[in-house]
């Protein structure tokens, strides 16, 4: 890729001199360049701190604080891993026009990413709060927003999406409801939770109130009415079906369906109560097709 064709990106050069490897990267945001804290490294102390200068202040929106365990404090990403991560970011994100801020490498035991970014704008939509994700996920989000979300928003809602409200991005934690203490994809900055889409005319299409009744809701209603000896199910069922047929409900369900072709895992209100109020997408590797509920 010819980086000169993407003037919005400023990529520092890799310098190898006298055995010292110095890496730096800057991405524009708000008219200013923000340094990559932790990526400007001197290999094995070959460059003195005085020559490197004062490290750049990390972005205010950064990965959540987590307490290191065991050997985590001593674990770091290697220079090679950080360089490879930055190169991947350039390759994947430069063509998208996504606005990101390079975050510092994060490592906490098995959690973390060598070159995470703070995703702020994607295909004309503000990401609020900005989300710490890896660049593979950021690129896939761009594809989904551009190819699925925006066209369907224009078709069904009559307006583009200008803000994506996020609920969770990077977080070092276990997978909800999974046996064996398996790590969540959030732990790898490889997942994003979205709670709402906001249109250009100010409408908030939030998952909690606009999705409509789930299959669990209908089953719970049928059980309660059977126990009560009532026979109101035909009327109530009609009301629930109508609630899932509203334009916002149909929009969210089609967003969910479209995401199943773009991500490794897609979970929404139909999956379980933990996802009642948001859509979860991640790039967990799958042998065949996405896990989609």
Q: Which residues pair with 20 in a beta bridge?
A: 17
Among 83, 63, 40, CA closest to 189: 63
Average pLDDT value for the chain: 76
Distance, in Å, from the CA atom of 177 to the CA atom of 154, rounded to the nearest integer, reads: 36
Give the model confidence (pLDDT) of 14-71 as tens digits.
322 222 222 333 343 333 333 333 333 222 222 223 333 333 333 333 334 444 454 4
Q: Which two tokens stand for residue 152?
A: 């369907």
Q: What is the pTM of this model?
A: 0.72
Whole-angstrom distance, CA of residue 181 vs CA of residue 162: 37
- Residue 224's pLDDT is 74
Decide if pLDDT at 121 tops 80.
yes
Q: Round to whole Å and give the CA distance between 87 and 89.
A: 5
């Amino acid at each position: 890729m010819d980086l000169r064709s993407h003037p919005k990106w400023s990529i520092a050069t890799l310098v190898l001199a006298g055995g010292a490897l110095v890496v730096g990267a800057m991405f524009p945001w708000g008219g200013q360049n923000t340094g990559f804290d932790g990526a400007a490294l001197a290999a094995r102390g070959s460059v003195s701190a005085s020559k490197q200068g004062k490290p750049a202040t990390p972005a205010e929106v950064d990965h959540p604080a987590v307490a290191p365990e065991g050997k985590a404090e001593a674990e770091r990403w290697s220079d090679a891993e950080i360089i490879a991560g930055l190169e991947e970011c350039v390759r994947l994100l430069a063509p998208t026009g996504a606005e990101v801020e390079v975050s510092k490498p994060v490592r906490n035991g098995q959690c973390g990413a060598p070159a995470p970014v703070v995703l702020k704008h994607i295909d004309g939509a503000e990401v609020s709060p900005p989300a710490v994700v890896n660049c593979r996920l950021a690129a896939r989000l761009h594809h989904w927003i551009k190819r699925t979300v925006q066209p369907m928003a224009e078709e069904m809602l009559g307006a583009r999406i200008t803000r994506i409200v996020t609920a969770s991005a990077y977080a070092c934690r276990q997978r909800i409801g999974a046996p064996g203490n398996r790590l969540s994809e959030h732990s790898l900055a490889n997942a994003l939770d979205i709670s709402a889409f906001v249109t250009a005319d100010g409408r908030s299409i939030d998952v909690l109130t606009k999705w409509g009744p789930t299959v669990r809701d209908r089953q719970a209603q049928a059980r309660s009415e059977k126990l009560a000896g009532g026979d109101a199910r035909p009327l109530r069922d009609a009301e629930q079906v109508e609630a899932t047929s509203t334009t916002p409900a149909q929009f969210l369900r089609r967003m969910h369906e479209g995401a199943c072709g773009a991500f490794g895992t897609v979970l929404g209100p139909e999956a379980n109560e933990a996802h009642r109020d948001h859509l979860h997408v991640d790039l967990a590797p799958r042998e065949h097709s996405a896990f989609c509920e």
